[in-house]
A and B are shown apart, each in its own frame.
Chain A
Amino acid sequence: MRSILYRGLLVLFVLGIALWTLWPTFRYYTLSPSERQSLSTHYISKLKKQALNLGLDLQGGMYMVLEVDKSKLTEEEAKGAEDRALEIIRNRIDQWGVAEPVIQKTEEGRIILQLPGVLERERAQELIGKTALLEFKLVADQKVLGQTIKNIDDVLQKTWKGDTTKTYLTDIIVTYQGGVAVREVDAAKFIEIINLPEVQAVIPPDFQFLFGRTTETQDGEKIRPIYLVKKEPELTGATLKSARHTIYQGQDPAYAGKPIVEIHFDKKGATKFAFVTGANIGKQLAIVLDGVVQSAPVIEERIPTGDAIIRGNFTIDEAKELAIILRAGALPAPIKIVEERTVGATLGKDSIEKGLKAFLIGFIIVVVFMLIYYKLAGLIADLALLLNTIFILAVMVALKATLTLPGMAGLILTVGMAVDANVLIFERIREELRAGKSVKAAVEAGFAKATITILDANLTTLIAALVLLRFGTGPIKGFGTVLSIGILSNFFTAIFASKIVFDYLVNVKKVEKLSI
């Protein structure tokens, strides 16, 4: 009696957690267009983070596998070529402003790039195919920058005749770590202003505006630093021989034990570098990769040897990353696209609709069949099935797994396979009843004997699912995930949860005849 209550409460508790986990998913995917307009972007992006991820095949986007062509590099140079390529790609994608890109290195040294919502194949290819370009450019000093910003706004005032509804540069510019920046959301506006012919005319002729790496402020807001740099580079990556991160061991106590980056120029570079550093002490020299400022250290003294260090408030990881970027610019290797899959957003939506329809109708047919074939017991199995489906989705959300189209197929298939455990139990109970056992004895024997069989049978399917998870890629992994979770949660729903209802019928209601 009490055990039934406790077990029932446990199932309800787990169900409660599952529903609570699924709530953001439900809310996010049922937002009406007007709600999307009226609700704050912060709230919506928070919902999205907590909602079930959809694979690229369902939400549309590009999936690419990239390979670094190392044929022109020596063995020594080839080391870490993938890491360098990864940084180059990351740097470029970052500037493109793609929402939630995934960039990762595979075990075989390839790079997987996932761009949700992006379908501009040509642009993506161009972006990847470009050879990396590393340049060192002098940064205009604060006074020139301040004057230029002022001049720009003056000329805008004149052009727009003081129209206050327009956006001026000073409206979007913020100060950031001693320099200036714009918020990520204002970046497009900034570019627009900069490219106006009137504005171009007041920017010092041999200077240009460049963005820095997108960073997050302490409030979690994404911002982009802005630099005014000389158009003509002082040096390029071709003269850079090596770059590595290490720990500062010099005399300055302020930097003792801090991560730094050591760079080393070749002979030609060293001469040039000595000249540049000598003539510009106190100025910033920007390290620019593919048109994006990576770092802008201040030149402290003339460096005659071609061996320089870059120091700053780096963490180890930041120093390491900067060293990789510098090497990437010094040793560019072509990057090839070896696999590419794109799915249009409309096709993705269509797949979701078709998949959902197949799922719902399949679900209903199985539910009705179980009701007809096993009557009341069938209803119990149906409830277990519903519970199972809820659990699978909730676990996927909790694990931050991605639902793909094959994953949906897995979900549909699980509906059919999940009732198998109950079928095995029910058939056993029927047999025991036919053999003349009492309802209570038949239920006990049915569950006991079938449980071993269910365990054996499901473990082999689990083996297959785990093999898929281990070796599969992308969508297939999504299928393996659904199948594995489905099997595990099935043990809980079909055996544990449905047994509670039977125990209730047999021990509390003391039914004489079982509807099965």
Chain B
Amino acid sequence: MEFFRNPKINFIGNRKYMYFVSGALVLLSIIVLIVKGGPNYGVDFRGGLLLQIKTEPPLKIEAVRSTLASKGYKTEVQTFGEPGMFILKFSSEQISPDEIVNALKSAHPNTTISLLRTEMVGPSIGRKLTMQAITLVLVGMLLMLIYIWFRFDFKFGVSSVLALFHDTIISLGIFTILGREFSVPTVAAILTLIGYSINDSIVVADRIREKLRAFGKVIPRNKIEEIFNSGVNETLSRTIVTSLTTLFPLFTILIFARGTTIFDFALILTIGVIVGTYSSIGIVASIVTDWYKTSLKKEKA
């Protein structure tokens, strides 16, 4: 079975459309992130208290919300995974979880309420984790840039890292629009995404490098687009197959591991793999094409 046999899709020739789409998506994501004041930071970064409770028979979310409000708690309540399962978030980390559970129990005596998970993060740790997350992602990107610069060339390095920003920002934007929470595992997911997406870009870059070598020192300027386009096309099959084999297991997490902390993790990776696949097909080679064309023009002049 083959999805593509010798594909000859004119990706590079149509790059201005892809620039447009990517530009629009990045812009939209940035606007979303600005309007919402950044990603939806979770307890990990803001500090505070998070409880995961299970109610049996399942309570309605409004019931949980109004009970806690009537007792004077400022709570964010969300459903989580299955009916009757809730995430409760408090901005103060001083509240005792048992106090909350008891408040719910006394208001709903016929419901079994069990505390499954608690997370308490003090403000000093929240700041530390935030700094750590930012460093983590930036250090990761910087190392990638250095690696590709070293193994390929500066143009590929910069273009691949630009694509990484593109993938990260769009994934974060969609993730935020979906109302999901930004936590420590999300940062790990983003870093993994960076690794994955650069991996895709390298496979394409590798093929283009191989083709460029065939020309030796003199690369005819009018052939650049053709060379780059055939590089993308020849690796297209692999790019799609690998994305699929990565997406299948991610989908199984999304379907079978709902109500666990790795759901969000899989969600951002799913978005990221799709965006990353698109960017390594449509964006990286396109930027490098333009860069090569401009620098060759300069050399001639």
Hey, which bits of chain A sit against chain B, CB under 8 A? Answer: 57, 65, 67, 108, 121-122, 336-344, 346-347, 350-351, 354-355, 357-359, 361-363, 365-366, 369-370, 372-373, 405-406, 408-409, 412-413, 415-417, 419-420, 423-424, 427, 430-431, 434, 449, 452-453, 456-465, 467-468, 471-473, 475-476, 479-480, 483
Q: Are A347 and B238 in contact (CB under 8 A)?
A: no
Please report the C-alpha to C-alpha distance between residue A65 and residue B120 in the assembled complex, in whole angstroms: 10
The 6 sampled A-B contact pairs (Cβ below 8 Å) are A340-B120, A358-B253, A358-B255, A420-B245, A458-B199, A471-B139
Q: Are B262 and A409 in contact (CB under 8 A)?
A: yes
Q: Are B234 and A358 in contact (CB under 8 A)?
A: no
A405-B260, A453-B202, A458-B199 are contacts. A343–B249 as well, Cβ < 8 Å?
Answer: no
Which stretch in B29-37, B166-174, B188-196 binds the other chain? B188-196
Hey, which bits of chain B sit against chain A, CB under 8 A? Answer: 1-2, 6, 52, 97-98, 114-122, 124-125, 128, 132, 135-136, 139-140, 143-144, 147-148, 151, 184-185, 187-188, 191-192, 194-196, 198-200, 202-203, 206-207, 210, 234-235, 237-238, 241-242, 244-253, 255-262, 265-266, 269
Q: Are B143 and A463 in contact (CB under 8 A)?
A: yes
Minimum CB–CB distance from B238 to chain A (whole Å) comes to 4
Q: Are B265 and A406 in contact (CB under 8 A)?
A: yes
Q: Are A338 and B192 in contact (CB under 8 A)?
A: no
Q: Are B119 and A465 in contact (CB under 8 A)?
A: no
Minimum CB–CB distance from A229 to chain B (whole Å) comes to 35
Given contacts A361-B252, A413-B269, 11 further A-B contacts (CB under 8 A): A343-B117, A347-B52, A354-B259, A355-B260, A369-B245, A416-B247, A420-B242, A457-B200, A463-B140, A463-B195, A472-B188
Minimum CB–CB distance from B79 to chain A (whole Å) comes to 16
Nearest B residue to A375 via CB reads B1
Please report the C-alpha to C-alpha distance between residue A416 and residue B184 in the assembled complex, in whole angstroms: 23
Q: Are A457 and B203 in contact (CB under 8 A)?
A: yes
User: Secondary structure of the B side of the interface?
Assistant: helix
Q: Are B121 and A413 in contact (CB under 8 A)?
A: no
Nearest A residue to B241 via CB reads A423
Q: Please give, as numbers and ranges, the residues of chain B lying within 8 Å of A340 by CB-CB distance.
A: 118-120
Out of A358, A417, A424, A452, name the residue touching B257 (CB < 8 Å).
Answer: A358
Q: Are B1 and A460 in contact (CB under 8 A)?
A: no
Out of B1, B147, B202, B203, name the residue touching A372 (CB < 8 Å).
Answer: B1
Out of B118, B122, B139, B147, name the residue touching A342 (CB < 8 Å).
Answer: B118
Q: Are B185 and A417 in contact (CB under 8 A)?
A: no
Minimum CB–CB distance from A484 to chain B (whole Å) comes to 11
Minimum CB–CB distance from B112 to chain A (whole Å) comes to 12
Q: Please give, as numbers and ranges, the residues of chain A lying within 8 Å of B241 by CB-CB distance.
A: 373, 423, 427
Please report the C-alpha to C-alpha distance between residue A121 and residue B99 in the assembled complex, in whole angstroms: 12
Minimum CB–CB distance from B111 to chain A (whole Å) comes to 17
Please report the C-alpha to C-alpha distance between residue A461 and residue B253 in the assembled complex, in whole angstroms: 21
Minimum CB–CB distance from A452 to chain B (whole Å) comes to 7
Minimum CB–CB distance from A61 to chain B (whole Å) comes to 11
Nearest B residue to A408 via CB reads B262
Q: Are A406 and B262 in contact (CB under 8 A)?
A: yes
